[in-house]
Amino acid sequence: MRIRREDWWRSVRDRRDGLILQLLKAKVPLKEFAREILSQERQLLREAPNPAARREIQQINAKTLLTEAYTPGVTWAEFGPLLRRCQRLGFADITHEVHVACLFVQSLPYFPKKAREAFAMLDEVERKLRHLPKRHSLRKEGTQAVTHARAIAEAAGILPTPPWRSPLR
């Protein structure tokens, strides 16, 4: 008997949520958290009905791992590869892209040398949000998140470098 797509995604969501809650309650370190999430990802990828479902599972897990990596004291060696994985896989939707860009900017106090790249990513997301209709709820929520991320970076003393004052030009 073939399982319906909605039922399969519900099963995926329930299993992912269960594992994440279990790991959060156990307060496991990031490396163990990532190992467990990626182990479950491999299992879900084998079950996925098509390439689009496989890609979406990878995108969602990449965002989850990046979110968990956003902690005080995180190093670029831990955060960078997870960010690159998110960028390489693409984003499931605009909310994922906003989330990742905001996390990147908010993490700048831990690695301020990445400010130019982070603000470029945030600017790109902001440009995409402006293409949504003005009354669209995602435009409003996304713009608020971008403003908040900028405020956090500014409070830490990190400002975007204007392109005309860029040290790389």
Q: Using one digit for the tens of pLDDT, what is the confidence trace for 56-74?
A: 999 999 999 999 999 888 8
pLDDT digits (tens, 9 = 90+) for 33-62: 999 999 999 999 999 999 999 999 999 999
Give the pLDDT of residue 169.
44
pLDDT at 167: 52
The predicted structure's pLDDT at residue 80: 95
- pLDDT-based confidence at 160, cuts 50/70/90? confident
Question: By the 8 A CB rule, do 2 and 47 touch?
Answer: no
Tell me the percentage of the chain whose pLDDT exceeds 70. 93
pLDDT value at 148 more than 90: yes
Query: Is the pLDDT reported for residue 4 higher than 90?
Result: no
**pTM (predicted TM-score):** 0.87
Digit-coded pLDDT (tens) for 93-110:
999 999 999 999 999 999
Encode the chain in three state secondary structure: CCCCHHHHHHHHHHHHHHHHHHHHHHCCCHHHHHHHHHHHHHHHHHHCCCHHHHHHHHHHHHHHHHHHHCCCCCCHHHHHHHHHHHHHHCCCCHHHHHHHHHHHHHCCCCCHHHHHHHHHHHHHHHHHHHCCCCCCHHHHHHHHHHHHHHHHHHHCCCCCCCHHHCCCC
Mean pLDDT over residues 108-118, rounded? 92
pLDDT value at position 89? Answer: 95
Q: Which amino acid is at 19?
A: L
How many Cβ atoms from other residues are within 10 Å of residue 150's Cβ? Answer: 19
Q: Provide the mean pLDDT of the chain.
A: 91
Q: If pLDDT is split at 50, 70 and 90, which confidence band does 163 have? A: low
